Amino acid sequence: MNLEHAYERRFGKFPLSNITFYLIIGQVMAFISIYLNPGLEAIFPLQGGLVLHGQWWRVFTMLFAPLSLSPLWVVLDWYLMYIFGTALEASCGAFYYFVYLAIAYLAIPQSGH
């Protein structure tokens, strides 16, 4: 038995379905709050030094940071995220989709963006 099946058997009983929908809802709320108060944009990026100094919420808020502040581009981003995210979740399952997203979001700070 390989390692990924062991993890799926152990943690797969906690279903995390519709992850894409919840991420989009969080991003919509973040976009609206940034659009109404532009100063809030500074709390979303993950900065390791600030996390180590007590700003632990940055680990979670980076998940909801909109990629653009242009309403046209952000709506297109949400649409594509919904289309591809739900298709990927349907094809490989909620557990593996969650693992894919976790790896992707952990790689973002390493890329410098």
Residue 104: CA count within 13 A, CB half-sphere: 8
* Radius of gyration of the chain from its Cα atoms, rounded to whole angstroms: 16
Place of tokens 């976009």: 31
Query: Are 34 and 40 a contacting pair, CB within 8 Å?
Result: yes
**Per-residue pLDDT tens for 18-67?**
889 999 999 999 999 999 998 888 888 877 788 888 888 888 888 888 88
Residue ranges with strand state E in 1-113: none
CA atoms of 20 and 24, how far apart (whole Å): 6
**CB count in 10 Å sphere of residue 64:** 18
Determine what percent of the chain is predicted with pLDDT higher than 90: 32
